[in-house]
Amino acid sequence: MLRISRYLSKMEIGQLLLSLVFTVGQIFFDLRLPDYMSQVTKLVETPGSRMSDIWKEGGKMLLISMGSLLCAIAVGYFMARIGASFSQRLRSLEFRKVESFGPAEMDRFSTASLITRSTNDVTQIQIFITMGLLMVFRAPIMGVWAVFKIAGKGADWTWATGIATVILMAFMAIIMALVIPKFKAMQKLTDNINQVARENLTGLRVVRAYNAEDYQEKKFDKANDELTGTQLFTTRVIAVMMPLMNTVMNGLSLSIYWIGAYLIKAAGAMDRLTLFSNMVVFSSYAMQVISAFLLLAMVFVLWPRADVSAQRVLEVLDTEPIVRSGSVTTGKNGESGTVEFRNVQFTYPRARKPMLEGISFKAERGQTVAFIGSTGSGKSSLINLVPRFYDVSDGQVLVDGVDVRDWDVQALRDRLGYVPQQSVMFKGTVASNVSYGAKPEHSEDVELADTSTAEGRRHELELIAASSDNVGLTDAQMEDVRKAGQVAQASEFVERMDGGWQAPIAQSGSNVSGGQKQRLSIARAVYRKPEVLIFDDSFSALDFKTDRAVRDALKTQAVGVTKLIVAQRIGTIMDADTIVVLDDGRVAGVGTHDELLKTCPVYKEIAQSQLSPEELEA
């Protein structure tokens, strides 16, 4: 929990210190009250006291109470502010950190856990800051101060308070020993429930199609019951805590008065009034000591969960992606549009066996290099090394003559137009999806925006607005969107949509078909005007005619752009300048279609399974 405080802004630290001052003020006022109470008691007991004197002392008590109230309000206000702005910053930082993650980091954390870590975990930290943080300071200050106030005011009463304190501490120790491990488990169980819910929602169609609702429900019920069971246990234990504490508190009050009654009975008439007043004061201070323990108990309720959450949030924030950015921003000797693999070996993190071995080829500027091979032969794995989703285990991948590990990652990816195997659409419009690469990249400024100040929050909003849906594309940009759409053979269906290029795209592109998504995804890559276009099996959802039309358009419209194409269909890649045939992560052949038909049995087998004898002869 302490380590996460390094993300507090200066303003928040200032507010925290101010709250601390107000807390000390509140304690001061609270501990002054018994003194006035003692005065009032004396006045009431002393024959001949005037009502106005009692009113005066009572008035002072009221003022002191008001002072305490105002301090409490100030503390509550500042702590709520700190809690809200700090958690906002943590969420933003986590979001940006996750954006820098590659597949390796995503595999390590899992999507569900990352969602819990930036929502539920941050909320636990916020609750602790708002409700528990100042108690950490308030409880000991109040306890020690109150002990000083009662020191020397009666050995018997002090003994009674000491015994009550020991009983309280014993109760608290038992309760904490019972609940802390459960609190730790609770966040993991929340991850679990998120994971099951997420899987169910994303796979809803399959669940329905296979009538697997019961199975899914059982899985969810199990996760839900586990979480509920743990929550019930901790809540029950904590529910017992308060009555126990109150019993001890009331027991102590009773003991003080009981002891007082004996002492007063044994004292002489002159001392009785002083003793009585001392007893009232002592009892008030003793209650303050016990209250300090009650506050500590509250801290112990909130702290363990917040501490676990802080560790989980820090785990994300402290993770440095395996793929680290280099510094090169231009190609070697002005080279442009070349991609070369030099004896590349690649092993997936946590895998024992290399997935790719001995891969070498070079794509010159403007050339088309295609990759074909059976399912699982490593085509996607190979292509993923170019944008550095993973790094090679051995050998080199060079873009424009520079090792991809030396490239500044942004500069490298700016040169590439990547079309993934599964198209991804974002909520927005057709145009905003196609022009996605034109958005300003997230700026370092955002990370530093101090959201604890009004100025910082305004700045953050401006930056968010600048990077949100680019509704206002310039005419030139809109022209580029249309051109990219034409190359990807998307214009026809887009123009038939309600709103044309401004037609809305639902979350995950659920209002367009698989083939349409694929075409928009291709348009998005073309729009960037990259040096290298990478198609990871991107033509598979297209019909043969569209596949052909897209490739023809690319030939005429994307001249000089290097194309790396992963494909299942021979027809898609037949005219490539070079075809690399993969078999179980090794190169089985490299050459043109005609060459490979003669020299590569694996390629010949694939070709024979897809083409007619006439096509093969042609």
Ligand X SMILES: Nc1ncnc2c1ncn2[C@@H]1O[C@H](COP(=O)(O)OP(=O)(O)OP(=O)(O)O)[C@@H](O)[C@H]1O
Report the interface residues with ligand X, using CB under 6 A: 103, 107, 348, 351, 355, 373, 375-381, 537
Min dist. Cβ of residue 565 to ligand X (A): 12
User: Between 420 and 485, whose beta carbon lies closer to ligand X?
Assistant: 420
Min dist. Cβ of residue 312 to ligand X (A): 23
User: Between 282 and 535, whose beta carbon lies closer to ligand X?
Assistant: 535
Tokens at residue 596, please? 């490979």
Min dist. Cβ of residue 350 to ligand X (A): 7
Quick check: 250 and 170 in contact, CB under 8 A?
no
Min dist. Cβ of residue 119 to ligand X (A): 26
User: Between 285 and 341, whose beta carbon lies closer to ligand X?
Assistant: 341
The helix or strand, by DSSP H or E, that contains position 210, with its residue range, turns out to be none
φ/ψ of 421, rounded to 5, equals -65, -45
Min dist. Cβ of residue 390 to ligand X (A): 8
Chain-centroid distance of CA 282 in Å reads 50
Alpha-carbon distance of 240 to 427, in angstroms, equals 49
Quick check: 552 and 580 in contact, CB under 8 A?
no
Min dist. Cβ of residue 363 to ligand X (A): 18
Helix axes 10-45, 269-317, angle to 10 degrees: 170
User: Between 59 and 514, whose beta carbon lies closer to ligand X?
Assistant: 514
User: Between 65 and 421, whose beta carbon lies closer to ligand X?
Assistant: 421
Chain-centroid distance of CA 456 in Å reads 21
User: Between 282 and 390, whose beta carbon lies closer to ligand X?
Assistant: 390
Alpha-carbon distance of 475 to 565, in angstroms, equals 31
The order of strands in the sheet holding 356-363 is 356-363, 339-346, 394-399, 402-403
Alpha-carbon distance of 559 to 237, in angstroms, equals 71
User: Between 41 and 377, whose beta carbon lies closer to ligand X?
Assistant: 377
User: Between 337 and 373, whose beta carbon lies closer to ligand X?
Assistant: 373
Quick check: 98 and 137 in contact, CB under 8 A?
no
Alpha-carbon distance of 46 to 276, in angstroms, equals 12
DSSP 409-466: HHHHHHTEEEE-SS----SEEHHHHHTGGGSPPPPHHHHH--TTSHHHHHHHHHHHHH
Min dist. Cβ of residue 584 to ligand X (A): 9
User: Between 333 and 609, whose beta carbon lies closer to ligand X?
Assistant: 609
Min dist. Cβ of residue 308 to ligand X (A): 28
DSSP 327-356: -B-S-GGG--S-EEEEEEEE--TT-SS-SE
The order of strands in the sheet holding 368-373 is 416-419, 532-536, 562-566, 368-373, 578-583, 586-591
Min dist. Cβ of residue 388 to ligand X (A): 15
